[in-house]
Amino acid sequence: MKEINSIYIIDDDHITVFGIKKMLKTIVKCNNIETFENGRLALDGLQERISAGISAPEVIFLDINMPIMDGWEFLDEFVTLDLKEKIIINVITSSIDPSDYQKWNDFRLKCWHYLNFRNKPIYKIEVTDLNRMNITSFT
Amino acid sequence: MKAIKKFPYPYLIKQLPQPTAFVDNDHILVSASDSWIHNFDAIQENSMGSEVYKLFASHSEFHFDDLKRCLKGDKTHKLRHKNIDNSEDVWYESIFTPWFDERENLLGTIIQTNNITQEAIKDAELKRMNTLLKAKSEVAKVGSWEYDIAQDKITWCDMTKRIHGVPKSYVPNVNEGIAFYKQGYSRNRISMLFHNLLEKGVPFSERLVIITHDGKERWVAAGGKAIKKDGKVVKLFGTFQDVNEHVVAENKTRESEQLLTTLIDNLPLNVFIKDKNSRKILVNKSECEYLGLKPKDLIGKTDFDLYDKDVAQISRDEDLEVMRTLKPMLGQETINVRKDGSITNFLTSKIPLLDMNGKVYGLIGMSMDITHMKQKEDQLRNLINVTAVQNKKLINFAHIVSHNLRSHTANFSMLLDFLIKERDGSERERIMKMLSYASDNLLETLENLNEVVDISTNINMDKKSMNLNESIIKVQQNLSAFLERNKVEFINSVPDDLTVPSVPAYLESIVLNLVTNAVKYRKTNAHPVISLTAKKQEDSVIFSISDNGLGIDLNRYGNKIFGMYKTFHNNKDARGLGLYIIKNQIEAMGGNITVNSEVGVGTTFNVYFNEENQ
């Protein structure tokens, strides 16, 4: 089974968080899975982590629609962070608004990290979602 | 005959005052008075005994054969001849009479030669005048007539006869002359005029219709005048002119003029003609009505006299351009501002006006009032804008619905997938709990959406004049426990008598949401203070509600604050729905809502209730 140091789940929907965690259990071994209800809390946690000298999480599951700071706003700030590692970010949304897909694509092209796009519902997290490659499953 | 070579008493003849000469049968001049000799530039002694032809030789304008015939001595002859004296024509008439002796023997011819220069000139003049008169009469088709009362005889000249269509041999009389006039007005009129002329000498000149001999109707101008002698009318005369073509052409011109005037006057357009200086030289009825002036008050005026200065300058510039380029300006939208400030939209055309030589001397203008169309166009544009906004809202709402429902169904789908695969009993139970939770969430979402749909479909709900203060007090009472628990200082300075046009349920919803929001987003370290004010403006009432709460970063969230499911604070009660709903309610009533806020200071919401009923 694949081993990952740290995973962030940023989503205000408890059921989705529950689902992602459950699906991760079957394919990955990770002792550090952190969840945040919105982008702001996640950024705060990340900053704390960096200032404590701990490396950034390898994989992030990111929801779009969240209060206070949504997924796009989180990405806006996240891409400005000076991170050495390339992070795998899985954008997970129930939105089928083409403009959301367009936004994801814009980010993908301008950012250093790996960005995947997954539409809900998700039944299974593939190993590819945790590997460093750009994959989209826009259904 | 040779016996009378010597003429007795020559001194008597010599002294005759009448120029007289005696010529024998051999045409030899026997004797002559000095006056006769003088007429022939001859000298007495030399002339006697010579042939008379020699003397006539210096004269002209006669035939030699005629002179010979005159000297035959058979009867009295007349001969005209001319001499030139001091380079002036001198006319003579010689009368040749046979000369007999006491026994009736023909001795020769007595010639009397008189100077008739005056008569000759008069004759020539008369002849010339007659020719001229005839030519004039022919060209102008003016005939004449004369009536001799004593002889009851009417005479017509050739032209008069020709106009009547009768031959030159025709002999008219008064009754027949009158009968030529068309029955009815013309005949009655001429009868009366002729009678008045005859009885009282009243002259006339009238245009009437005759029926010619060959049955054609023709317009004639008949005139009459009387000649009086000792106050009594003795003779009538007058003119008779064919004016048919003239009258017909005149009538035609008048008809087309009438047609044109009727057309121009009744066009539903303002028509005007301007000269080179943009002065009006013709205006139609519509133009007069538009400006509220009579034609005579408009003629000669420029646009500067009639319209606002700026508008007049624009119009003058257009005029100059059209007259300079000779290119018509067609269907241009223009705006006129009358002196009283009233504005009219026109569709104006200006066409250069050229004289016979192709030189511009003004322009024709036509303006169609399109103010109503313009207003309709504006209304339509407004309607399109409103529709576009609503359409955008609808699309936005559709996305919200789709997203919200999708997120729930996605959860169901995922959880059910887990459930099918799960063998562990306690885990299955956990998934079931999650499913039940997801179901509750879905129901709540549906209720929220219902609430929004209600507003959007109840746009036509009746607005009533609501007392704002009463609604605030009612909300305050309903929330009394909530307000007390949070130690809220509630400052209501809304006037007691202020009313706002609103759907009753909406007004309470608006006040309730804004008040609870103000409390929800309070600072943790201070007691909430909420102040409510309202003031009436021109056609709206502004209701403001201010708090001393957390405030919100409008630079960041400004365009999202009224969005659905947008929350900006870590608050467990926040649904992200309240502001979205009241914004919809306010806009459904034709008003709007704005927000001012400063982080850490507080927030003010301004609600505008529009007086105008839509």
User: Which pLDDT value is given to residue A120?
Assistant: 85
User: Which pLDDT value is given to residue B459?
Assistant: 59
Q: How far apart are CA B373 and CA B384, in angstroms?
A: 16
Q: How far apart are CA B331 and CA B22, in angstroms?
A: 102
Looking at the fold, whether B211 and B298 belong to one and the same domain comes out as no
Task: Note whether residue B263 is domain-resident.
Answer: no
Interchain contact, A67 vs B399, CB within 8 Å: no
Interchain contact, A19 vs B403, CB within 8 Å: no
Among A18, A65, A95, select the one facing B434 at the smallest CB separation.
A18
Task: Note whether residue B258 is domain-resident.
Answer: no
Locus of tokens 């420029």: B302
Chains A and B form CB pairs within 8 A to the count of 59
Three-class SS of B195-221? HHHHHHCCCEEEEEEEECCCCCEEEEE
Task: Note whether residue B521 is domain-resident.
Answer: yes
Minimal-distance CA residue of chain B relative to A23: B418
Q: Kindly state whether B568 is in contact with chain A, defined as any CB-CB distance less than 8 angstroms.
A: yes
Question: At B496, phi and psi to the nearest 5?
Answer: -60, -35
Looking at the fold, whether B226 and B302 belong to one and the same domain comes out as no
First-to-last C-alpha distance (Å) of chain B: 143
State the pTM of this model. Answer: 0.50
Minimal-distance CA residue of chain B relative to A121: B410
Residue ranges for chain B with pLDDT beneath 70: 1-8, 42-45, 456-461, 564-575, 612-614
Mean pLDDT of chain A: 86
Tokens coding B82 = 């001319």
Looking at the fold, whether B149 and B213 belong to one and the same domain comes out as yes
DSSP B475: H
Considering only CB atoms, which chain B residues are within 8 Å of A68? Answer: 567-570
Among A16, A67, A123, select the one facing B417 at the smallest CB separation.
A123
Answer whether A89's CB lies under 8 Å from A114's CB.
yes
For B390, the 3-state DSSP assignment is: helix
Q: How far apart are CA B222 and CA B144, in angstroms?
A: 9
Interchain contact, B411 vs A19, CB within 8 Å: yes
- Give the end of a domain, one of B427, B456, B485: B456
- B71-103 tens-digit pLDDT: 888 888 988 888 887 888 888 999 999 988 888
Q: Kindly state whether A64 is in contact with chain B, defined as any CB-CB distance less than 8 angstroms.
A: no
Q: Kindly state whether B413 is in contact with chain A, defined as any CB-CB distance less than 8 angstroms.
A: yes
Interchain contact, B403 vs A65, CB within 8 Å: yes
Is residue A137 scored above 60 in pLDDT? no
Amino acid type, B381: R
Looking at the fold, whether B355 and B387 belong to one and the same domain comes out as no
Looking at the fold, whether B477 and B601 belong to one and the same domain comes out as yes
For B551, the 3-state DSSP assignment is: coil
Interchain contact, A97 vs B399, CB within 8 Å: yes
Backbone φ/ψ region at A131: left (φ over 0), alpha (ψ -120 to 50), beta:
beta
User: Which pLDDT value is given to residue B192?
Assistant: 94
Task: Note whether residue B499 is domain-resident.
Answer: yes
Count of alpha carbons within 13 Å of B605, Cβ hemisphere only? Answer: 24
Instruction: Provide DSSP, B64-133.
Output: HHHHHHHTT-SS-EEEEEEEEETTEEEEEEEEEEEEE-TT--EEEEEEEEEE-HHHHHHHHHHHHHHHHH
The count of structural domains within chain B is 5
Interchain contact, A121 vs B414, CB within 8 Å: yes
User: Which pLDDT value is given to residue B578?
Assistant: 82
Interchain contact, A65 vs B407, CB within 8 Å: yes
Looking at the fold, whether B149 and B191 belong to one and the same domain comes out as yes
CATH number at residue B89: 3.30.450.20
Task: Note whether residue B261 is domain-resident.
Answer: no
Interchain contact, B413 vs A121, CB within 8 Å: yes
Q: How far apart are CA B174 and CA B198, in angstroms?
A: 12
Q: Which CATH class is domain A2-137?
A: alpha beta
Q: Kindly state whether B57 is in contact with chain A, defined as any CB-CB distance less than 8 angstroms.
A: no
Interchain contact, B576 vs A67, CB within 8 Å: yes
Kind and range of the H or E element at B556?
A: helix B554-557
Looking at the fold, whether B91 and B159 belong to one and the same domain comes out as no
Is residue A134 scored above 50 in pLDDT? no
Of A51, A48, A73, the residue nearest A62 (C-alpha): A73
- A80-110 tens-digit pLDDT: 888 888 899 999 988 777 888 899 999 888 8
Looking at the fold, whether B336 and B431 belong to one and the same domain comes out as no
Q: What percent of chain A is predicted at pLDDT more than 70?
A: 94
Looking at the fold, whether B384 and B426 belong to one and the same domain comes out as yes
User: Which pLDDT value is given to residue B408?
Assistant: 87
Looking at the fold, whether B600 and B505 belong to one and the same domain comes out as yes
C-alpha dihedral sign at B212, B215, B216, B217: positive
Looking at the fold, whether B389 and B490 belong to one and the same domain comes out as no
Interchain contact, A95 vs B403, CB within 8 Å: yes
Looking at the fold, whether B397 and B482 belong to one and the same domain comes out as no
Task: Note whether residue B128 is domain-resident.
Answer: no
**Domains of chain A, residue spans:** 2-137
ipTM of the complex: 0.85
Residue B147: Cβ within 10 Å count: 23
Question: At B389, phi and psi to the nearest 5?
Answer: -65, -45
CA distance B599 to chain A (A): 14
Amino acid type, B123: D
Considering only CB atoms, which chain A residues are within 8 Å of B434? Answer: 15, 18
Q: Kindly state whether A22 is in contact with chain B, defined as any CB-CB distance less than 8 angstroms.
A: yes
Tokens coding B138 = 């022919």
Of A105, A118, A110, the residue nearest A59 (C-alpha): A118
Task: Note whether residue B444 is domain-resident.
Answer: yes
Amino acid type, B438: A
Among B413, B437, B567, select the one facing A68 at the smallest CB separation.
B567
Interchain contact, B406 vs A123, CB within 8 Å: no
Which residues form the domain of B331? Answer: 270-369
Task: Note whether residue B473 is domain-resident.
Answer: yes
Q: Which residues of B203-230 are buried (b: 16+ CB within 10 A; e: fewer)?
A: ebeeebbbbbeeeeebbbbbbbebeeee
